[in-house]
Amino acid sequence: MSEFDDATQVDPDGSTAIHDGWDINGNANGGYLMALAARGLLAVAGRADPISVTAHYLSPGKPGPAQVDAEVVKAGRRFTTVSGRLTSGGKPVLQLVGAFGDLAAVPPAYEHIDVDPPDLPPFEECTPRSRNQGAVEVTMMDRLDVRIHPGHSGWVHGDRNGVPEMTGWFAFRDGRPIDTLALLMVCDAFPPAVFHLDMPPGWVPTVEYTVHVRGIPAPGPVKCVFRSQFVQGGFLNEDGEVWDSTGRLVAQSRQLGLTPLTS
């Protein structure tokens, strides 16, 4: 079993565990937590794919036993909508709502896309995201092979380019295919795009995170781009796109995060 599948197992009664090794300085990654919880919701829905999943982040996810509670709100023809919660250590960690369906069964429809995939050097020529990020330990990088665009990696040594955009490749180190469940994690696996800004350093906590799964990824690493256009009023957005090896969009994401306070 792949590391990701092992770490996102949920029993039929909803009991699960937040696994060690998917964290940043001891707090489980938000995308990992969404994927874990969504696996529980997906099972309750009895569908193949997450279509749209939203999570609100309520307390840090620490390694240990956890529980996914999920309720089908509506089982429709195309979608099953599920409300759910991830609880651990007696505290709510995530509150979720999601629509689940079967992306392979969607009939052909009109298409129009204005946007190109990010322009990236080949996987091998991009900069691996390090496990060590200054004083911060990104232990999940032992499991994820995230490669940052060379022009987007100067922030690591304080060379900020002033453009809140982060692009790169994503793959699992153990070669697990990137399926629609994994996309929920992919969209939160990169360093925040605001690391390119001259912002006071600090944690960027997520308030809310939504992923729209827009396609089933073809085999191979995926290309990702994340942008924070609006850092304002104590909040910031981070919008993501994930593109597969055929150049097709497979996910869109948006986070609402908190800006580190200036005081």
232 belongs to the binding site for a copy of itself (CB under 8 A): yes
Nearest distance, CB of residue 79 and a copy of itself, angstroms: 7
**By CB under 8 A, residue 160 contacts a copy of itself:** no
C-alpha 192: how far from chain center:
12
Residue 39 and residue 57: Cα distance in Å, rounded?
17
Q: Tell whether residue 123 is a contact of a copy of itself (CB under 8 A).
A: no
Q: How far apart are CA 173 and CA 189, in angstroms?
A: 13
27, 54, 133, 245: which one binds a copy of itself (CB under 8 A):
54
Residue 32 in tokens: 């990992």
**249: contact with a copy of itself by CB under 8 A:** yes
With tokens 């990654």, the residue in question is: 29
Is 247 a residue that touches a copy of itself (CB under 8 A)? no
| Beta-carbon count within 10 A of 167 CB | 22
39 binds a copy of itself (CB under 8 A): no
237 forms part of the interface with a copy of itself (CB under 8 A)? yes
Phi first, then psi: give them for residue 36, nearest 5 degrees: -60, -50
Binding-residue pattern over the window 78 to 117 for a copy of itself, x denoting contact by CB under 8 A: -x-x-x-x------x--xxx-x---x--xxxxxxxxxx--
In angstroms, the CA 27 to CA 38 distance is 18
Helix (H) / strand (E) containing 132: strand 132-133
Does residue 67 belong to the site contacting a copy of itself (CB under 8 A)? no
Q: Which two tokens stand for residue 88?
A: 């651990």
Amino acid identity for residue 38 in this structure: A
Decide whether 1 or 263 has the Cβ nearer to a copy of itself: 263
Asked if 10 and 16 touch (Cβ cutoff 8 Å), the reply is yes
Which spans of this chain sit near a copy of itself (rule: CB under 8 A)? 51-52, 54, 56, 58-59, 73-74, 76, 79, 81, 83, 85, 92, 95-97, 99, 103, 106-115, 163-164, 194, 197, 199-200, 207-208, 210, 212, 214-215, 228-235, 237, 239, 248-249, 252, 254, 256, 259-263
